[in-house]
Structure 1
Amino acid sequence: MADVSEGREQTGLPRSGGSISIGKGGYVKTLVTGASGFIGSHVLKRLLERGRDVRVLQEPGFRRDHIAGLDCEIIEGDIRDPEVMRRACAGVDRIFHLAAMYQTWLPDRRLIYEINVEGTKRLLEAAEAVGVERIVYTSTIATLGKPEDGSLANEETPFNLWRVGNDYVFSKYQAEVEALEGVKRGLPIVIVNPAFPFGEGDIRPTPTGRILQMLLKGEIPYYYDGGINVVDVEDVAEGHLLAEEKGEIGEKYILGNENIEIVDFLRMAAQIAGVSPPKWKMPRSVAIALGHLSEFLADHLTHRHPYGTAAEIKLTSQRMYFDCTKARTQLGLPQTPIRQTLEKAIRWFREHGYT
Structure 2
Amino acid sequence: MKEQKNTRVLVTGANGLLGAHVVRCLLSKGYRVLVLVRKGSNLKALEGLSVDWFEGNVTDKKDVEQAVKQSDFIIHAAARTTQSPSSLEAYREANINSTKYLVEAAEKFGIQRMVYVSTANCFGNGSKEHPGNENTPFIPWLKKSGYAYSKLLAQQLVLESVRQKKVNAVIVNPTFLIGENDVKPSSGEVFLHVINKRLVFYPPGGKNFVDAALAAEGVVAALEKGRSGECYLLTGENLSYPEFFEKVMLVTQQRSVFVPIPSWLLKCAGFAGDLLEKYLKLPVRLTGVNAGMLCLGNYFTSEKAANELGFRELPVQESVEKAILWFQKNNYL
Q: Quick check: TM above 0.5?
A: yes
Q: 1:159 to 1:299 in 2, by over 3 A?
A: closer
CA–CA distance in structure 2, aligned partners of residues 287 and 90 of structure 1: 48
Q: Secondary structure at the match of 2:293?
A: helix
Contact 2:86 2:146 in 1 (8 A): no
Shift of 1:160: 1.9
Shift of 1:299: 9.1
Q: 1:62 to 1:92 in 2, by over 3 A?
A: same
- State which of 265, 269, 287 in structure 1 corresponds to 2:248: 269
Q: 1:131 to 1:283 in 2, by over 3 A?
A: same
CA–CA distance in structure 1, aligned partners of residues 231 and 198 of structure 2: 36
Contact 2:88 2:150 in 1 (8 A): no
Q: Deviations over 1:99-128 (max 9, x none)?
A: 001111149873422100111111111111
2:322 matches 1:340: no
2:141 matches 1:159: no
Contact 1:144 1:156 in 2 (8 A): yes
CA–CA distance in structure 2, aligned partners of residues 220 and 209 of structure 1: 19
Contact 2:88 2:147 in 1 (8 A): no
Within 5 A, what are the aligned runs for 1:41-60? Answer: 41-60=20-39
Aligned to 2:303: 325
Aligned to 1:98: 77
- State which of 147, 170, 190 in structure 2 corresponds to 1:190: 170
Aligned to 1:242: 221
Q: 1:163 to 1:112 in 2, by over 3 A?
A: closer
Q: Secondary structure at the match of 2:30?
A: coil
Shift of 1:329: 1.6
Supply the AA of the counterpart residue of 2:8.
K
Q: 1:172 to 1:295 in 2, by over 3 A?
A: same
Shift of 1:346: 1.2
Aligned to 2:259: 280
Aligned to 1:21: 3
Unaligned runs of 5+ in 1: 1-18
Aligned to 1:352: 330
Supply the AA of the counterpart residue of 1:176.
Q
2:180 matches 1:200: yes
Q: Deviations over 1:282-307 (max 9, x none)?
A: 1112113334556777899997774x
Supply the AA of the counterpart residue of 1:264.
E
TM-score after normalising by structure 2: 0.91
Number of residue equivalences: 332
Q: Secondary structure at the match of 1:66?
A: helix
CA–CA distance in structure 2, aligned partners of residues 296 and 349 of structure 1: 35
Contact 2:199 2:259 in 1 (8 A): no
Aligned to 1:215: 194
CA–CA distance in structure 2, aligned partners of residues 190 and 51 of structure 1: 21
Q: 1:141 to 1:219 in 2, by over 3 A?
A: farther
TM-score after normalising by structure 1: 0.86
User: Identity of counterpart residues, as a percentage?
Assistant: 32
Moved more, 239-248 or 70-79: 70-79
CA–CA distance in structure 1, aligned partners of residues 146 and 199 of structure 2: 24
CA–CA distance in structure 2, aligned partners of residues 42 and 210 of structure 1: 18
Q: Secondary structure at the match of 1:201?
A: coil
Contact 1:267 1:277 in 2 (8 A): no
Shift of 1:219: 8.1
CA–CA distance in structure 2, aligned partners of residues 198 and 105 of structure 1: 21
CA–CA distance in structure 1, aligned partners of residues 148 and 163 of structure 2: 23
Shift of 1:241: 0.9
Q: Deviations over 1:212-234 (max 9, x none)?
A: 11111428631121111111101
Q: Secondary structure at the match of 1:285?
A: helix
CA–CA distance in structure 2, aligned partners of residues 182 and 220 of structure 1: 49
Aligned to 2:158: 179
